[in-house]
Amino acid sequence: MPEIAVSVIIPSWNGKDLLDDCLKSIIQNIKEIPAEIIVVDNGSTDGTREFLSEKFPSVNVLALKENLGFTSAVNRGIEISSGKYLLILNNDIIVLNNSIKNLLDFMTNNESVGIATSQLIYPDGNIQQVIHRFRSLSFTLAETFFIDRLSFFKKFYSERDLKSKCIFDDRWVMGAAMMIKREVIEDIGRFDEKSFTGDEDICFDAITKGWQIGVCKDSLMIHLHRKSSFTDDRGLDYKWIARMYFEFQRSACLSYIKRNPLWKGKVLFLTKKIASFLRLFLSIILFFLTNDKDDLYKARIWGHYQFLCYPFEELLPFCDSVLPAKITIISPSLDVKGGISKQVRHFLESDVSKKYRVSHISTHQSGNKFLKLIRAICGYFEFSIQAFFSPPKLAFVYMSGDISFLRKSIIILLAKLRKIKVLLYCHSYDFDHFYSRSPHFFKSYIKYILNSVEKVVALSSYWKEALFYICGRNDIVIVPPFSPYITQLLSANTKDEESQERNILFMGTIEERKGIFDVLSAFSSIVGNLPYPCRLIVAGDGKEDKVKHIIEKNNLKNNVKLIGWIDEEEKIKLFEEAYLFVLPSYAEGFPLVLIEAMASGVPVVAGDIPPVRELISDGENGFLVEPGNKESLADVLEKVLMNEELCKKIGEEGRRLVKSKFLFNDNVYSLDKEIRSLLM
């Protein structure tokens, strides 16, 4: 049996009638050529396999279970082929006399030509352009605004005449009738299955390996052009055609971005998006103006809409350099005074954040209710635009309770709509109470939101258990709050032992929940009994007027200093000067300021509440008092202030705990581990 010279590979999907004419013309042309014909059936439902078995028994049929697309089908055909030359044909090609032989002779006589095509003509005899320049920004721009349809542009750009040249090293040919030497496939690999057409890519890859591209003017074939999907007798499958519109756009971008710098890829992608928007707009108008609601208009509308929603990030692995994953952080504005904003700033300043392309969207800001509402609406709009046109791989959502939960739940729903993964970091100080006081229907909504995200992160074991009780998830992880200033505080000097001044430091929002008014009451009751000069430093903002009133009422003007909100450098200085830190809160998430105080070696007095118990063991590395018990608070403050040895011991134990469990790098990398687990 002679060696097979040509393997004819024909991908087909629901093209039974087209195959009839196509195969007859091929068989007529290969009588004198050792050849095989392989039809790769892409999951047809029109009886293609039965038809081929009955009418063309000599044809090899490779039946696929589903429509894998052109490039995948071609590759499956190549796998089972044995010819020295591979002829890839669309099923809407009709081969004219001697065309396969002439094309084969052309390839044989031109050893440098690795890929060649026949000259294609339309059924009316007009020549179809088969050789193209590689896509450029200028041509894409002309295409976008329909300039390529103008006669002067066609004359300038067209290469239909092929008067003097038929071999190229800077062009690509259509895959509708493409002959490839098997050596080329062995040299560069098969068709890129991520591309819908693959012709531009494989020509470019062949050229980079030193092969040339050719057009055989003596080989003519009729191309019915897109009849593979637009067959009249079976009607239009508009979903498949929509996919074609989408894939042609995507493949053009993919081909371009593989061989050009990233910035050019972005410009071309944006230009193609503009083109799709214009064509989508025109298709919608034509659809409503046309009496016959042609499925072709539906296909165009759906196909262009799909491409508009396609994210550039999907193309990044094929760029000249692979960019890191894109993460969007959703939180309050970074200038809001509070724990969440501070945590976001710490994360953004860390080395971990530099591993990703991080953007930030705020849904809350300081100010009146109107400004807060506008900020929330703007946040939803920003995230919606991003989610639909350039979606991140991960939405990193910082959430508290009450209104914060409502705001963030809308973001989460938008993310799920666009299949964006969500990491939810719960920083609430009363999420358990928020849940318990919610009506039944809203409890169901809270459960749904918590169970819809890919990862839930809690601040402590208490909050992990509380969230488990609410939503039943057993995969909740713990990442305590972190601060890059912990290391600096651990190495800072403690209070001068010879100093007689005893400064008590309170740091936080001035409100009832933080226990500041209990501190003022307890302090006023003991300050006159102390043998040492003592001052209470109140750092924070909120209800300052109430603090000033208490100071005046209790004649504490010389003993209490209200200094307002402070920055990190001022905080470190205050810790260095503090003798004792106090925060007898009624409710907390997991107060970072306590960790910072313990890192600085200052003994702490804190409210005896579940999250704080995970940090402080009463009498060992700090002191716990019942929230609201002013007498007990006064007793503990007086005991610590009067006992320097106890104060020193507690401070050292506090520092030891922070060194073992709350170092900045350890905790920020724990968070990074959870992020990476979602990006894998």
pLDDT, tens digit, 9 for 90 and up, residues 139-198: 888 888 878 777 766 665 555 545 557 898 888 998 999 999 999 999 888 888 778 788
DSSP notation for 582-626: EE--S--S--HHHHHHHHTT--EEEE--HHHHTT--BTTTBEEE-
- Which stretch of 63-67, 243-247, 366-370 has the lowest confidence by average pLDDT? 243-247
Does residue 233 lie in a domain region?
no
Q: Which segments of 146-298 are extended strands (E)?
A: 167-168, 171-173, 177-181, 212-223
Average pLDDT over residues 434-452: 95
Are 250 and 381 within one domain? no
Among the listed ranges 10-19, 159-168, 590-599, 643-652, which one has the minimum average pLDDT value?
Answer: 159-168
CB atoms within 10 A of CB 194: 18
Examine residue 103 and state whether it is found in any structural domain, yes or no.
yes
Of the listed ranges 456-470, 511-525, 554-568, the one predicted with least confidence: 554-568
Q: State residue 230's pLDDT score.
A: 47
At 282-298, the pLDDT tens digits run: 888 888 887 765 677 78
Global model pTM greater than 0.75: no
51 is in which domain, residue-wise? 6-223
Consecutive H or E run containing 114? strand 113-121
Predicted local distance difference test score (pLDDT) of residue 231: 46
Statement to judge: residues 297 and 361 lie in one domain: no
Task: Give 613's pLDDT tier (boundaries 50, 70, 90).
Answer: very high
Q: Identify the pLDDT of residue 142.
A: 83
Q: Given this model, what pLDDT does residue 412 score?
A: 96
* Position 230 in a domain: no
Q: How far apart are CA 241 and CA 252, in angstroms?
A: 17
How many residues make up the chain in this entry? 680
Q: What is the pLDDT of residue 155?
A: 61
Same-domain status, 170 and 39: yes
HEC profile for 610-669? HHHHCCCCECCCEEEECCCCHHHHHHHHHHHHCCHHHHHHHHHHHHHHHHHHCCHHHHHH
Average pLDDT over the chain reads: 88
Average pLDDT of the segment spanning 385-395: 90
Average pLDDT over residues 608-633: 94
Residue 468 within any structural domain of the chain: yes
Same-domain status, 312 and 337: no
* Domain-located, residue 590: yes
Identify the band that residue 234 occupies on the pLDDT scale cut at 50, 70 and 90: very low
What pLDDT score does 233 carry? 42
The answer on 135 and 20 residing in a single domain is yes
End-of-domain residue from the set 259, 284, 318: 318
pLDDT band at residue 500, thresholds of 50, 70 and 90?
low
pLDDT (tens digit, 9 = 90+) per residue, 68-105? 888 989 998 998 999 999 999 999 999 999 999 999 99
436 and 346 in a single domain? The answer is yes
pLDDT at 227 over 70: no
Amino acid at 280: L
pLDDT at 292: 62
Domain boundary among the residues 423, 455, 478 is at 478
First-residue to last-residue Cα distance in the chain? 52
- Same domain flag for 113 and 21: yes
> Does the residue 1 lie in any domain?
no
Residue entry with tokens 């709009």: 381
Show the tokens assigned to 10.
């024909």
Q: Is the pLDDT of residue 235 over 60?
A: no
On whether the CB atoms of residues 17 and 47 are closer than 8 A, the answer is: no
Domain at 165, CATH number: 3.90.550.10
Q: Do the domain assignments include residue 599?
A: yes
Q: Give yes or no for residue 521 having a pLDDT over 90.
A: yes
- Tell me, yes or no, whether 381 and 398 share the same domain: yes
Evaluate if residue 414 carries a pLDDT over 70.
yes
pLDDT the model gives residue 266: 86
40-54, 127-141, 427-441, 547-561: range with lowest mean pLDDT = 127-141
- What burial class does residue 116 get, using C-beta atoms within 10 Å of its C-beta: 0-12 exposed, 13-18 middle, 19+ buried? buried
Closest by CA position to 413, among listed 401, 435, 397 = 397
Claim to verify: residue 50 and residue 34 sit in the same structural domain: yes
Number of domains in the chain: 4
Share of the chain above pLDDT 70, in %: 92
